Amino acid sequence: MLQHFVEFLQEFICKMKKWIFVWEPHQAICKHGPNTLDELLKQFDLPPKETTQQEIINTYLAKETMAALELSYLKDDPSFVYRGNQVWYDHDGNKYFDFVPCVVRPEVHYCCYGKN
């Protein structure tokens, strides 16, 4: 049984190689990466590609669009509810604790991250 499966697999691979050979002009369109380690290492030695002004603008617009999209998704989410604590001292120096319910919209965390 295993021998029949192996023969079937070999025939299938041979047919696939023939099929790929027929579509070889299509394969020429695809870019192939480096084939050897030397070719790969040469890519690291190349100077970095300089970005044009238009590429910088496109990158900025894409980031701005994604931030606006993220903000619109967060506005649809429910608020974060958690219990904070409040500490205060009276005029005699006694320390008091109280738990305070806090409700924060998720877009507040997103917009104010790293600004405090």
Which tokens hold the place of 87? 């500490």
Residue 23 pLDDT more than 80?
no
**Contact indicator for 81, 99 with CB cutoff of 8 Å:** no
Alpha-carbon distances, residue 44 vs 30, 32, 34, 50, 55 (angstroms): 22, 17, 12, 15, 22
The per-residue pLDDT for range 40-63, each reduced to its tens digit, is: 777 777 787 888 999 999 999 999
- pTM passes above 0.85: no
Q: String of b and e for 78-103 (b: at least 16 CB within 10 Å)? A: eeeeeeeeeeeeeeeeeeeeeeeeee
